[in-house]
Amino acid sequence: MGEAVYIHGVRDVRLGPAPSEAADDETVAIDIAAVGLCGSDLHYYKDGSIGAARIQSPFVPGHEFSATLSADCEPLGLTRGTLVAIDPADPCGLCEWCHRGDVNLCPSVKFLGAPPFDGAMRHTMHVPQKAIVPIPGTFSALDAAMLEPLGVCIHAIDLVRPRLGETVTVLGCGPIGLGLIQLLRLSGVGQIVAVDPAGYRRDHGLKNGADAVVAHAGDSLDFNAGRGADLVIEATNAPEGMADAVAAARIGGRVLMVGIPDGDHYTLPAAEARRRALSIKFARRMGETYPRAIALTEAGKVDLEATVSHRLPLDKAPEAFEMQAALADSALKSVIYPNGLEG
């Protein structure tokens, strides 16, 4: 069974014996290869909850992950030892939203790594066979694990449908913000301005395709004659994120909220958003994006390693949570390798 990482409550991460599981004909055993520490994992660590999803008892985080099969998976024609990606979402398939194709909005979804469902920060586990995502043999364990956050970025781009030549401001140069910048550059938009208070993250914004970077949302107006951006995508954990997005947008512009605010609250002066008649959307997780994420990665059109700053063994996971919550050591994303680092 081995060990697992548990979040017990606010700022309380510990290792312990992995949870026991009951296998059946619809599941397959896997050995976890790599698992990313996501911003949502940090919210459970810092706040003990994300909205109504609250830690009631210690649970194992980790929903961005890859694994090798511990046994043959005959329905998919995959053999033991094959590296695969895992889709953490198991929507019900029966509700109104699933029938409409909005599987990411399923209110009955079972999502690995979100309480009460244990995730992948452990050595081994069982997953439904339908969760297995075959990948090209050239992919690394990190590539396969980072397909999930790339999918979140693809879904966000789908929601806002960037237009050729329009100006875009991205708030936040964390892993999701950087992924969004890469995809926006591929989409043919005009000027991309990235905003982040941390200097090292602004540097990463430039490396990932931003034309300019600034420390504050208001400063982004200097790059579009004070009119504001046609499109603003917010990818921060700041309660001020929505207010900053409004401040960066032009009259009649579009805003997409991707980030999750600390404390589960936004601050927003309503008059500015109303007077500008802004169109504001919210993104949640992703839909059926794995095929495109795989294709973009295989073609070399995205750089998944550019969003990762640390690679650590399982026993260093508590330190990774603390480091990322404090933005220490130039942290972007930590990837945990429960069964040994890649060579």
pLDDT in tens, 215-270: 999 999 988 888 999 999 999 999 999 999 999 999 999 999 999 999 889 988 89
**CA 190, 249, 285 angle in degrees (round to 5)?**
80
Between these two residues, 1 and 140, which has the higher pLDDT value? 140
Give yes or no for residue 10 having a pLDDT over 80.
Answer: yes
CATH no. for 3-146+308-337: 3.90.180.10
Give yes or no for residue 32 having a pLDDT over 80.
Answer: yes
Give yes or no for residue 200 having a pLDDT over 80.
Answer: yes
CATH no. for 151-282: 3.40.50.720
Percentage of the chain modeled with pLDDT above 70 = 99
Average pLDDT for residues 201-222, to the nearest whole number? 95
17-31, 57-71, 244-258, 299-313: range with lowest mean pLDDT? 17-31
pLDDT value at residue 16: 96
Quickly tell me which residue has 């005009």 as its tokens: 190
Percentage of the chain modeled with pLDDT above 90 = 87
Distances in Å between the alpha carbon of 266 and those of 95, 215, 241, 242, 263? 30, 20, 7, 6, 9
Average pLDDT for residues 193-208, to the nearest whole number? 97
Average pLDDT over the chain, rounded to an integer:
94
Peptide bond into 116 cis (omega under 30): yes
Q: Confidence class of residue 176 from pLDDT cuts 50, 70 and 90?
A: very high
Distance, in Å, from the CA atom of 261 to the CA atom of 264, rounded to the nearest integer, reads 5
> Residue 258 in contact with residue 183, Cβ under 8 Å?
no
> Residue 194 in contact with residue 177, Cβ under 8 Å?
yes
Distance, in Å, from the CA atom of 96 to the CA atom of 47, rounded to the nearest integer, reads 31
Residue ranges per structural domain of the chain: 3-146+308-337, 151-282
Closest to 249 in 3D by CA, of 187, 166, 164: 166
pLDDT value at residue 343: 62
Distance, in Å, from the CA atom of 49 to the CA atom of 54, rounded to the nearest integer, reads 4
Give yes or no for residue 21 having a pLDDT over 90.
Answer: no
Q: What is the reported pTM?
A: 0.95
**C-alpha distance across the termini of the chain, in Å:** 24
Quickly tell me which residue has 């591929």 as its tokens: 186
Sign of CA dihedral 206, 41, 288, 161: negative
Task: Report the phi/psi class of residue 93: left, alpha or beta, with left for phi > 0 and alpha for psi in -120 to 50.
Answer: left
Q: Confidence class of residue 23 from pLDDT cuts 50, 70 and 90?
A: confident
How many CA atoms lie less than 13 Å away from 184 in the CB half-sphere?
30
Type and span of the H or E element at 289: none
Give yes or no for residue 1 having a pLDDT over 70.
Answer: no
| Helix, strand or coil, per DSSP, at residue 162 | coil
